[in-house]
Structure 1
Amino acid sequence: MHSEVSADAQPTALRIVPAQQAPFADVEAVFGTRGDPATCWCQWYKIPGSDWREEPAELAARLEQQIATAEHGGPGLVAYDGETPVGWCAVEPRPALPRLQRRRIVAKGSDEPDFDDGSVWAVTCFVVPRAHRKRGVGGALAEAAVAYARAQGARVLEAYGVDPTARAKVPAADLFPGTVSMFERAGFTEVARPTPSRAVMQVRFD
């Protein structure tokens, strides 16, 4: 795979690289020490609910290990503005996300029922620190996720977009899966709407 994907964002161009090419300290800088990202570390879809008792430091160690040992792509991308890490996008083969198949939006909306199929990838989470929001970071990461999944041999890339227009008010914390409009701009097509405010989006490479 090409080592980076550049995307224009305001006010500067972003450099986006696979997490394997970023120091883990930069990933930690994006996740921060407060809020949902710092207590989840993109492990929610990977750990059985009965085992969801680990401390944030242990979850962070899990993510660091997953980045270091990923053999078939994933588990994410890191965006930079110059040398400053400004965003994260979780994207990887769907079999790495065992709890995902039990989510109603996926169970009712995905037309890819085989969760052992490593050619189906998923975008599940975006993390952009408050100071770097409203600058196109999430959209650039979504576009880069498409390029990354394609380069890694994915057949399908799924996302589970939030449609803020379908709800009276959507807290910023609820937008971590990405928005429908953002995925549409990145080339995704809506294939199902399991709930009024959540859509299954796909890019097919086959």
Structure 2
Amino acid sequence: MTRWSEHFTAASVEASSVHNIEVKPAHSFEDMATMLGPKNPQSSVCWCLSWRLSSTENRSLAGTDRADVVRQLVARDHAPGVLAYSDGQVVGWAGVAPRAELHPIERSRRIPHIDEVPVWSLWCIRVRPGFRKQGVTAALIDGAVRYAQQQGAPIVESYPVDNRGERVDQTMAFVGTRTMFERAGFTQVAETQSVSGGFPRIVMRRMLD
């Protein structure tokens, strides 16, 4: 059973072989660090900021400066994404936010704007080793969509690869695949000029009430 948790609402859906998956807005820096941070705090890693900041901002941040940006993001009223938990421990992350906040996607010449609707983008999915292929991804997508809907999003977009059943390298799997989003109710609305891991990326959408 997957549980969606928020401070003012709750919902349950059938999910996966991992029991008691709970999806929450990402307001915990410690759990974000578990999912995205380096073992050495001084090391420079993405922290899932590369798809949020401009290239100039990205280059200017290193080591703990990147962690400080994440601290600021999780402290806002609307979270930078959602986290999945199994039996109390964090097992997954999905980045979801208004596309307008995601500089590289908003300004991209390779990923088209379909229209002027203020869509939210679901751009990154990560599951911890040891919990993969157990339904965590499906729970994250569902939780991200629910969170975006509660924040007033009219549409959620994703930009997965159309890999046609071929294996996707784990280092590039964070964008997701067409099949996993189709299972979550998304449909393709456009092609892109972007490629990830050797596969073309597409624009998929899920309309929200």
TM-score when normalising by structure 1: 0.83
SS in 2 for 1:69: coil
Q: Secondary structure at the match of 1:99?
A: helix
Equivalent in the alignment of 1:132: 131
What's the % identity of the aligned pairs?
Answer: 33
How far off is 1:163 after superposition? 2.1
Please state how far the C-alpha of 1:105 moved relative to its aligned partner. 4.1
2:36–2:48 contact (8 Å) kept in structure 1: no
List alignment gaps of at least 5 residues for structure 1: none
Q: Work out which of the residue numbers 27, 31, 43 in structure 1 matches 2:36.
A: 31
Residue of structure 1 in register with 2:81 after alignment: 76
1:101 maps to which of 99, 106, 127: 106
Q: CA RMSD in A?
A: 2.3
Query: Residue 6 and residue 86 in structure 1: after superposition, are their counterparts in 2 closer, same or farther (change >3 A)?
Result: farther
Aligned residue among 69, 76, 79 for 1:62: 69
Contact 2:80 2:95 in 1 (8 A): yes
Structure whose residues are more often helix by fraction: 1
Corresponding residue for 2:171? Answer: 173
| Residue in structure 2 matched with residue 45 of structure 1 by the alignment | 51
Residue 111 (structure 1) aligned with residue 117 (structure 2):
no
Q: Tell me the number of residue pairs that the alignment of Structure 1 and Structure 2 aligns.
A: 192
CA distance in 1, matches of 2:49, 2:12: 25
Q: Deviations over 1:102-134 (max 9, x none)?
A: 334422xx313x4xx6x3111011121222211
Given that 1:12 and 1:81 are in contact with CA atoms closer than 8 Å, whether structure 2 keeps it comes out as yes
Q: In structure 2, which of residues 184, 191, 194 is the aligned counterpart of residue 193 of structure 1?
A: 191
Relative contact order higher in (CA < 8 Å, ≥ 6 apart): 1
Instruction: Indicate the SS of the match to 2:45.
Output: helix
Match of 1:145, SS state, is helix
1:5 to partner: Cα distance: 5.8
> Aligned partners of 1:56, 1:4: CA distance in 2, in Å?
38
Q: Do the aligned partners of residues 40 and 5 (structure 1) sit closer, same or farther apart at CA in structure 2, a change above 3 Å counting?
A: farther
Distance 1:5 1:152, change over 3 A: farther
Distance 1:16 1:7, change over 3 A: farther
In 2, the alpha carbon distance for the partners of 1:169 and 1:186 equals 20
Structure 1 162/58 Cα, relative in aligned 2: closer, same or farther at 3 Å?
A: same
Aligned residue type for 1:203: R
Aligned partners of 1:51 and 1:153: how far apart in 2? 28
Amino acid in the other structure paired with 1:88? W
Deviation of residue 95 (structure 1)? 1.4
Residue equivalent to 1:14 = 21
Q: How much has 1:155 moved relative to structure 2?
A: 1.0
Q: Which ranges of structure 2 fall in alignment gaps of 5 or more residues?
A: 1-7, 194-198
Shift in CA distance, 105/200, structure 1 to aligned 2, threshold 3 Å: farther
Letter of the 2:58 counterpart: W
